[in-house]
Structure 1
Amino acid sequence: MDLFGSSSFKAIERGLEGAQLRQKAISQNIANVDTPNYKAKQVSFKHTFQNEMNNQTIRAHKTSDGHIDFGTRKSSPSIEINRSTMYNHNNNNVDIDLEMAELAKNQIYYNALIDRLNGRFTSLQTVIKGGR
């Protein structure tokens, strides 16, 4: 029995991975706000996450290790660089106000996922304790 292999745990895990990658990109943008010719990075995760949720694949039961796995495809968030804009006079396109807002939004998203994960663990703990 795989307690942590359910689709909800995997969805939360993928969400946390995406939030972590977004945090890294935003932090790099904020750190390079005054760096000449630096171009802001953005993580396209929600589109990937939504595709994964909509395209859940059928899992096959393998009776032999020689059988081919299907339904185990894993896509990951991607980092995109916007090279077409210029926000500052030094050819830099980092908007610090936008980055700080995205940082706050990402923190709220991350905290919501952690709360959901804690809820799942609390449910498991209740089951283990026999409902007490």
Structure 2
Amino acid sequence: MIDKLDTAFRFYQDSANLRAHRQQLIASNIANADTPGYKARDIDFKTTLQGVLTGSGAVTLATSAPHHIAPDTHSASGGGAPLLYRNAVQGSVDGNTVDMDVERSQFADNAIHYEANLTFIGNQIKMMLAAIQS
């Protein structure tokens, strides 16, 4: 019974973890908007989530020393998500590729999707509690 509940919520857990990781990346881009040479980074959410769900898209980190900590390959926290660089819409003299308009819109879009995901999870739990109690 518990394994069925775990399977039912796995998608929402993975999706929320990836959204949280993406939010951190976008916030980092915004924080470094004035850093010379900083390259804006992001993940391809759809491809990464599909990879996490199928298990085929798991990206492992290479370690160059025997004392490096092995990454958690079973987590969808985004640690294994390949980081992509955003193309600069408008060139900058200092080499910074952060476009604040793009970053703000991506931040808001990702936040809305994250909140919708949490709302959906809450509604699913309420429906399960109502079914159990009746």
Q: What CA RMSD, in Å, does the superposition of the two structures yield over aligned residues? A: 2.5
Higher helix share: 2
Give the TM-score taking structure 1 as reference length. Answer: 0.73
| CA deviation profile, 1:59-105 (whole Å, cap 9, x unmatched) | xxxxxxxxxxxxxx847441424287573211100010000000011
* Partner residue in 1 for 2:50: 50
Give the TM-score taking structure 2 as reference length. Answer: 0.72
Change (3 A) 1:97 1:17: same
Identity over aligned pairs, percent: 28
Aligned mates of 1:34, 1:41 — CA distance in 2? 15
Within a 5 Å distance, the mapping from 1:32-71 to structure 2 comes to 32-53=32-53, 55=54
Whether the aligned pair in 2 keeps the contact of 1:33 and 1:94 (CA below 8 Å) is yes
- Where in structure 2 are there 5+ consecutive unaligned residues? 57-72
Aligned residues: 113
* Partner residue in 2 for 1:93: 97
Change (3 A) 1:105 1:83: closer
Partner secondary structure for residue 24 of structure 1? helix
* Partner residue in 2 for 1:4: 5
